[in-house]
Amino acid sequence: MDTEPDSAASSAKWMILLAWVCAIGICAWAFSGLLERQHNPNMRVESNQVGSNIEVQLKQNRQGHYVANGKINGETVTFLVDTGATSVSVPAHLSEKLGLRPLGRGIARTANGNVEIAFTRIAQLELGDIMLNNVDASINPGMRDDHILLGMSVLRQLEFTQRGEWLILRTL
């Protein structure tokens, strides 16, 4: 009895299955990258020199928000621009990684009600080539995701203009 044809057919089936698994994996990887770029079209923030000022242009995401990667104290973070936030608001679960220490307690009035926060200061905040030092911030235990709200303690130090789907931030 010859078992070679069965063995060859079995090997071919496994190779086809392996090819399908690889193809599905590659498609899933590509699709997840596409979704991430739709959520955060500003993963790589580019800066321009405009006279003596630095300018950053952020593209709106599909939901109409301005999401961008940046740095706090040298650590890469994802910012969500929030003109309604008084200061930069950092989820509590990120504070240690970012080197933020509580400097006092307070209450913040948020869209979800009042929440107890800790005041802090960010030694260095970067968005593209815009660098700000000693920025007022809060540590918020009510924030569950990894987005950091880029509030008015940063935005009031910049000139900002919205044109179509772009937010232009410029140093003063």
In the chain, how many domains are there? 2
What are the distances in angstroms from CA 7 to CA 10, 12, 13, 83, 117? 5, 9, 10, 66, 66
Supply the CATH number for residue 158's domain. 2.40.70.10
Q: What is the pLDDT of residue 35?
A: 47
CB neighbours of 73 closer than 8 A, spacing ≥ 6? 98, 99, 100, 122, 123, 124
d(CA 42, CA 11): 46
Q: What is the pLDDT of residue 10?
A: 79
d(CA 172, CA 156): 10
pTM as predicted: 0.78
Regions of the chain where pLDDT drops below 50:
31, 33-35
Same domain, 73 and 26: no
Q: What is the pLDDT of residue 169?
A: 97
Same domain, 85 and 124: yes
| DSSP-assigned beta bridge partners for residue 107 | 116
Same domain, 35 and 67: no
Q: Which domain holds residue 119?
A: 47-171
Helix (H, G, I), strand (E, B) or coil at 99: coil
